[in-house]
Amino acid sequence: MSLNSQKSVFVILVVIAALAGCAGGKAQTAAPMSSGGSMIAIEVRGFKFSPNEIRVEKPGLLAIEIKNVSGSEHNFTLKDPRGNVLMSKNISSGGSVIVNVELPAPAVYKFYCNKTLHSTFGMQGRIIVGPQSSK
Ligand SMILES: [Cu+2]
């Protein structure tokens, strides 16, 4: 194998690895606000939340803007680590909502769409609160 074809094999492997990474969804860190809380924007497209992994450095108020650019109504339900529903909101097709949630402690908070079967189609994600989120 020539040096050039070895290089292209390497490039192909890197591309495959990058694509495999994308399959798990996108991670994003919430932006700190001057008021002390953080904020994040989530887009709903097809049966996906993007990003679907949100990192928040400190517990406290998180403002979430959810924009539904898909052709049907979806929902955003957030649970605390014990499985209690913190909030649940429908977002109509083409609509957007802003919700403020208090995330009281460092933990993993799961969210999903509560429409029938949507979460099994991939409409789920998590918010990771705490210092480990910066790693
Ligand atoms: Cu949905």
Per residue in 55-85, pLDDT (tens digit) is 999 999 999 999 999 999 999 999 999 999 9
Residue 66 in domain = yes
Summarised one tens digit per residue, pLDDT across range 7-18 is 666 555 554 444
Span from the CA of 115 to the centroid of ligand 1 (angstroms): 5
HSE (CB half, 13 Å, CA atoms) of 27? 10
Residue 3 in domain = no
Span from the CA of 81 to the centroid of ligand 1 (angstroms): 22
The whole-angstrom separation of Cα 125 and Cα 78 is: 9
Number of domains making up the chain? 1
Span from the CA of 57 to the centroid of ligand 1 (angstroms): 27
pLDDT at position 134: 47
Does 21 score more than 50 pLDDT? no
Residue 15 in domain = no
3-state secondary structure of 11: helix
What is the maximal distance between C-alpha atoms in the chain?
59
pLDDT at position 99: 96
**Residue 69 CA: distances (Å) to CA of 25, 50, 100, 131:** 17, 11, 21, 32
User: Tell me, what CATH number does 73's domain have?
Assistant: 2.60.40.420
Residue 20 in domain = no
Contact 75, 48 (CB under 8 A): no
More confident of the two residues 6 and 77 = 77
Q: For the chain, where are the alpha helices, taking DSSP H only?
A: 3-23
Residue 9 in domain = no
Residue 8 in domain = no
* pTM given for the model: 0.79
Which amino acid, residue 89? K
pLDDT at position 9: 61
Span from the CA of 17 to the centroid of ligand 1 (angstroms): 28
Tokens of 40: 């994040």
Neighbours of ion ligand 1 (CB under 5 A): 74, 113, 115, 118, 123
Which is nearest to 60 in space by CA: 97, 35, 23?
35
Span from the CA of 44 to the centroid of ligand 1 (angstroms): 8
Q: Which of 4-8, 47-51, 61-65, 108-112 has the lowest mean pLDDT?
A: 4-8
- Model confidence at 25, pLDDT cuts 50, 70, 90, reads confident
Residue 125 in domain = yes
| Residue 8 CB coordination number (10 Å) | 11
Q: 50 lies in which domain range?
A: 26-134
Cα radius of gyration rounded to whole Å, the chain: 18
Residue 114 in domain = yes
